[in-house]
Homo-oligomer: A and B are copies of this chain.
């Protein structure tokens, strides 16, 4: 058994701690985030601190590191107010990982990593044509997280593009069929293997499969 105390964490070498802490909480929501740079170039970044904030209004949150390290994504979102989430598939996982490299300003990760820009429904940020689920977001709130200088960005879902056959009658989006990948840490990618879907749990009855 490994028993890691707070002082053990403080004493660890930085790369070891980064890898440990990033991979510790489990499998994470993975999206390529599309934005427009000031110079008119499109920008694509890989993010995994993405989470549900609410359904009505439909809100998604994302944690971004300080501006210097997270490419141009945060400044592009703040300036334009628009961005897209695009799911990552097994067929292009190496290209998607490559979008996490630091390209100099003026280079588009779409071009450098081999993705196709797609502008849909007049939305002002680029989607990834190769993704099966494309989400348009409009910036709602930017909350600074003082404790470590990161930023929480909350966006409202204003458009969704996906094939009909991915959405069940009750609204459930099938990520197994969609081919959506998930990530542990910053570099280890997994596909989902279905285990079970259950009905809404109630205190006075046992769990039932849906």
Which A residues fall within an 8 A CB radius of B? 1-6, 9, 12, 14-31, 48-61, 63, 85, 87, 90, 93-95, 97-104, 107, 112, 121, 133, 135, 140-141, 143, 145-148, 150, 152, 154, 156-164, 166-167, 170-173, 175-176, 180-182, 184-203, 206-207, 210
Q: Which residues of B contact A107 (CB under 8 A)?
A: 203
Residues of chain B within 8 A (CB-CB) of A170 are 15-16, 19
**Are the C-beta atoms of A53 and B49 separated by less than 8 Å?**
yes
Q: Are B54 and A148 in contact (CB under 8 A)?
A: yes
Is the pair A197, B192 in contact by a Cβ cutoff of 8 Å? no
Contact A63 B52 (CB under 8 A): yes
Interface residue from B51, B100, B101, B181 paired with A49 (Cβ < 8 Å): B51
> Could you tell me the dominant secondary structure of chain A's interface residues?
mixed
Q: Is the CB of B175 within 8 A of A184?
A: yes
User: Within the assembled complex, what's the spacing in Å between the Cα atoms of A180 and B176?
Assistant: 17
Closest CB of chain B to A115's CB: distance in Å? Answer: 14
Given contacts A6-B158, A19-B172, contact A25 B85 (CB under 8 A): yes
The CA-CA distance from A51 to B154 in the complex, in Å, is 14
- In-complex Cβ contact of A143 among B57, B143, B181 (8 A): B143
Question: What's the minimum C-beta distance from A165 to chain B, rounded to whole angstroms?
Answer: 9
Q: A172-B188, A185-B172 are in contact. Are A133 and B24 (CB under 8 A)?
A: yes
Which listed residue (B55, B59, B133, B196) contacts A189, Cβ 8 A?
B196
Cα–Cα, bound, A53→B144 (Å): 12
Q: Are B4 and A55 in contact (CB under 8 A)?
A: no
Most chain B CB within 10 A, of A15, A166, A190, is at A190
